[in-house]
Amino acid sequence: MRIFVMFGTQDKRFNRLLNAILNSNFVNENEVYVQLGYTKGDYSGINGQEYYTEDELNHQIEIADLIITHAGVGAIVSALKLKKRVIVVPRLGQYKEQNNDHQVQIMERFDKQGYIIPCTDLSKLDETVNNAYNFEPKEYVADKQGIIDEITDFINCIKK
């Protein structure tokens, strides 16, 4: 299985996810490619780079069997449009991965609609990847009002 992992490109690290991947069993059993963004660390043993062009990123998503991503709306929607199985790991404010926990809300919204597989406990990432083989995501239909609501909520969080 080819797994593509998107850490996001915001200016905060997501080392918690990188460490979980490096310590997982699936990394040895699958082709794993990563887009690290600002996340730093020794990621020898997995393929990837800090950034991809938009075309390269879309290509990586297209050829992957499974996507693991932070809970950025753009990353999730890009994968869903290509009918990919998506595991979403939210960045958390308590670890300084994000300014707040809005990614948890985004993940919960996509999960509630049957589009993604949530993963909030990284000690269970191997199990989540194994379960992803049997997950059949609901076909993605753009929820424009939902996206507008998410953006509005995000802007309101920033203002606080």
Looking at residue 149, what is its pLDDT?
A: 73
CA-CA distance, 59 to 52, in Å (whole number)?
10
Identify the band that residue 154 occupies on the pLDDT scale cut at 50, 70 and 90. low
How many domains are there within the chain? 1
Question: Contact 65/85 with Cβ under 8 angstroms?
Answer: yes
106 CB-near residues (< 8 Å, 6+ apart): 71, 72, 73, 76, 88, 90, 150
pLDDT at 160 over 60: no
> Domain with 16 in it: what CATH number?
3.40.50.2000
* Distance set, CA 12 to CA 8, 82, 105 (Å): 9, 27, 19
pLDDT digits (tens, 9 = 90+) for 1-55: 999 999 999 899 999 999 999 999 999 999 999 999 999 888 877 898 999 999 9
pTM of the model: 0.89
Provide the residue range defining the domain that includes 131: 2-159
pLDDT at 126 over 90: yes
